[in-house]
Chains A and B, each alone.
Chain A
């Protein structure tokens, strides 16, 4: 973190800029703190990835990786998550450049809609897998699979609830300083989930297509 001279302030994520006064001054410490949370979350995910990698062979004769991958659904989920991330970015840019609260809420809800599309497709995949007998109790491999993919899904679900919460806050309080910094942090969280998803489709789903 830099000194308190306002023009020097800069933090990861979209910087609001000096025009935002209090929100801009508050953003730097809270965003840095939030980064520490995100990085600890990254360590958690990394360990789930490590456990997944060591359990690849532990299928106990049950369904393996190749049996549960539906590549069309994975491509759609990836697209939905990316579009959602872009829309959240547009919402933060709108907030930074003084758009009306209504406009910011509109982009946030659009972002939420794509997040929910992702969740819907993921739940459908989980139900399909369960129908094939690929339930978490079946083998060590499937426990690791459900834990890793499910943990990411849980994060997206929590993020979706948080988008609704900040939208409600914007509707009630307008774009107050602390509401703005919350939107910034939620944006970091939302983009961060995309990064985890890159790991998931590259490590879990796409190698499953290997013939």
Chain B
């Protein structure tokens, strides 16, 4: 690839990510405003759209992919996700339990 092509390629990454992010954000806001699926459907669709958008940001803005050189960074992220899952789920469980007992 020539330098000019590389530059266009790098820019295209950011614009693709931006386009996808705007689309997903718009869908999130639309489902919340129009509420076509009821409360449970709203939470589910917001969760799915948010996770999709986080992946878009990681892929196109932070350039995390599955290539070998970036595997340690990906492992760092996945380890952090594990720690977060334990800590957040534990907090929500314990404090939620405490609150229902206090009601």
Contact = CB atoms under 8 A, between A and B. Distances in A.
Contact of B14 (A35, A49, A53, A89): A89
B3 to A, nearest CB: 7
Contact of B54 (A35, A54, A198, A210): A198
Contacts, number: 132
Contacts of B35: 209-211
Contact of B32 (A15, A51, A89, A209): A209
B97 to A, nearest CB: 10
Category for how many chain A residues contact B: 35 or more
Interface stretch (A39-47, A125-133, A163-171): A39-47
Contacts of A82: 18, 21-22, 25
B18 A86 contact: yes
A207 B32 contact: yes
Given A39-B80, A50-B87, A85-B18, 14 more contacts: A10-B69, A43-B84, A47-B88, A54-B95, A57-B99, A79-B22, A82-B25, A97-B3, A97-B7, A97-B10, A195-B58, A198-B25, A198-B50, A207-B43
Interface of A: 1-2, 8-15, 32, 35-36, 39, 42-43, 46-47, 49-51, 53-54, 57-58, 71, 75, 78-79, 82, 85-86, 89-90, 93, 96-97, 188, 191-192, 194-195, 198-199, 201-203, 206-207, 209-211
